[in-house]
Amino acid sequence: MGDFPYADRFTVNRTLPEQGRPRADVLAELHAMAEEEDAFWESGKCSGTMYSGDHEHYRFLAEAFGDFAHVNVLQRDMCPSATKLEGEIIAMALDLMHAGAVEDTTTAGMVTSGGTGSILHAVLAYREQAAARLNGRRPNFVKPETGHPAFDKACHLFGIELRTAPVDPANTVVDPADVARLVDRDTIAVMGSAGNYGYGTIDPIAELGQLALERGVGLHVDGCLGGFILPFGEELGYDVPAFDFRVPGVTTISADTHKYGYSFKGSSTLLFRDKALRNAQYFHLAGWSGGKYMSPGIEGSRSGGLLAATWAAMVHYGRAGYRAHAQEIFATAASMMAAVRSHPELRIMGHPTFCFSFTSDDFDIYHVADRMRERGWRFNGQQYPNAIHMAVTRPQTRPGVAEEFATDLAEAVAYAREQHAAGKEAFSSAIYGGVAGGLTTEVEDLIVAVMSDMLDIQQGLPPVGTG
């Protein structure tokens, strides 16, 4: 649609209109955009993004959301339902993460605005709890290279030194010995993924937990992606190692309800082995003229709609519902990975479960991405090495999607061979690819410039006379 989508079809609002439009007119415009945009992911040809893909479920959540959309959950005296809903969301998530295995402390949790929100709050809690021990020294946090960039963001925002451990290129997980070499007296915590976004592989959480106990640091398990599907994969008999509170040394876990928990975007859970760590990141201001102020998290006002929708999704599906969807997803992922493995030129990265990436040692994998895009597929590209990422969600479990993937992949591999033999470069490398030797200052400056240009366009308006 170009830089200014829908400008040729709908009015561009350059100022607040003097007279408002009828509700039916406004809704008709929104419905038209939503219907057209839904048509893309409904094909099942996209990685991740739409985890449920069930319009009946979305309508159910929308009804639950609508009843509480106008509610501010800070005002618990006016809306005590928020206490019930949030408390039960946390209790159900703690149960899923085997909080019952914890005997020596009182477990607790928070509902946050998403995976990044959960990670930010976890890192902040570790920093605040360690402040007295560090006595002014700068804290550091250790993550595997595959750890989500939200940890980098948290360290940047909170003045924490980030130390990055390499991952084994063969199995795509971190070696605890490499993490141990980066831990010192100023380390506040380390982390491992279950699983990491890039490859869907699970770091050795048990070994990292032992390391954390020996060195007296926290261990955060990032289950933002896998937290609401891996437990059910384990129940189904898949090879899912323990990564939750059953593992000694695990002190916090993030698990997104807005991914495989099938709630609306904007909800996640952060779980604590010991509520004292949760309490460490509270903010309070006793002397403000507006009254005594205290906030349990970074956010202030929040809509009760997200709590209602998340609670509704969890109690509607229950363990049996989540397990049934997990079974379909794991089976579909296995089928799609089998299609990849049927081509000797392609290689699966590590040993993934429901989310996987593949590359090629024979040609640039982005040639495959180019041809698959022509067939309507939307993948996430990766670098170091170039790879194609596929997070299997419910839309891929629909009849025929996995078979179509196998057919289109076979044709794309043949195309990639031809392009490689002809010495042609892949188009996708300009979008997804990295640069040899890693990031340089010039490349970082370019990325900032591109992002700025994107925001200026996406938050801007088309030229006057258009729309």
Share of the chain above pLDDT 70, in %: 93
Q: How many CB atoms lie within 10 A of CB 31?
A: 10
CB 142 within 8 A of CB 177: no
The pLDDT of residue 434 is above 60: no
Largest separation between any pair of C-alpha atoms in the chain: 73
The pLDDT of residue 320 is above 60: yes
Sequence-separated contacts (24+) of 229-232 with Cβ below 8 Å: 229/260, 229/322, 229/326, 229/329, 229/354, 230/194, 230/195, 230/202, 230/353, 231/96, 231/97, 232/319, 232/322, 232/323, 232/325, 232/326, 232/327
Tokens of 307: 């709590």
How far is residue 112's CA from residue 93's CA, in Å, rounded to a whole number?
Answer: 13
The pLDDT of residue 213 is above 50: yes
Q: Which of 350, 367, 351, 353 is nearest to 415 (CA)?
A: 367
In Å, how far from its chain's centre is CA 143?
16
Tokens of 317: 């599906």
Which of 452 and 162 is assigned the larger pLDDT?
162
Tokens of 89: 């969301």
Confidence at residue 435, expressed as pLDDT on a 0 to 100 scale: 39
Using pLDDT thresholds of 50, 70 and 90, give the confidence band for residue 436: very low
Q: Which residues of 220-242 are buried (b: 16+ CB within 10 A; e: fewer)?
A: bbbbbbbbbbbbbbbeeebebeb
Separation in Å, CA 405 to CA 334, 382, 397: 12, 19, 12
Q: Which of 396, 402, 393, 398 is nearest to 51 (CA)?
A: 393
Separation in Å, CA 33 to CA 5, 122, 284, 334: 10, 37, 43, 34
Per DSSP bridges, beta strands 293-295 and 283-285 are antiparallel
Tokens of 199: 């490859």
Using pLDDT thresholds of 50, 70 and 90, give the confidence band for residue 433: very low
Confidence at residue 74, expressed as pLDDT on a 0 to 100 scale: 85
Confidence at residue 40, expressed as pLDDT on a 0 to 100 scale: 84
Tokens of 301: 């006002």
The pLDDT of residue 93 is above 60: yes
Mean pLDDT for the chain overall? 92
Separation in Å, CA 211 to CA 94, 142, 250, 271: 23, 12, 10, 20
SS3 316: helix
Separation in Å, CA 87 to CA 94, 268, 273: 11, 13, 16
Tokens of 130: 């360690």
Share of the chain above pLDDT 90, in %: 81
Tokens of 191: 């982390």
Domains of the chain: 68-312 (3.40.640.10), 319-431 (3.90.1150.10)
Sole residue written with tokens 């308006």: 461
The pLDDT of residue 234 is above 90: yes
Averaged pLDDT, 136-157: 98
CB 55 within 8 A of CB 31: no
Q: DSSP label at 394?
A: G
Spatial neighbors of 272 by CB under 8 A, at least 6 apart, are 107, 108, 109, 125, 251, 252, 278
How far is residue 90's CA from residue 280's CA, in Å, rounded to a whole number?
Answer: 18
How far is residue 180's CA from residue 217's CA, in Å, rounded to a whole number?
Answer: 11
Cα angle, residue 186 at apex, residues 182 and 192 outer, rounded to 5°: 50
CB 188 within 8 A of CB 139: yes
Note the helical H segments in 159-227.
176-180, 205-215
How far is residue 325's CA from residue 313's CA, in Å, rounded to a whole number?
Answer: 13
Sequence-separated contacts (24+) of 25-28 with Cβ below 8 Å: none
The pLDDT of residue 181 is above 90: yes
Averaged pLDDT, 86-105: 95
How far is residue 100's CA from residue 141's CA, in Å, rounded to a whole number?
Answer: 28
Amino acid at 252: T
How far is residue 29's CA from residue 33's CA, in Å, rounded to a whole number?
Answer: 7
The pLDDT of residue 280 is above 80: yes
Residue-wise pLDDT tens digits, 326-342: 999 999 999 999 999 99
Confidence at residue 121, expressed as pLDDT on a 0 to 100 scale: 97
SS3 276: helix
Q: How many CB atoms lie within 10 A of CB 166?
A: 12
How far is residue 313's CA from residue 306's CA, in Å, rounded to a whole number?
Answer: 11
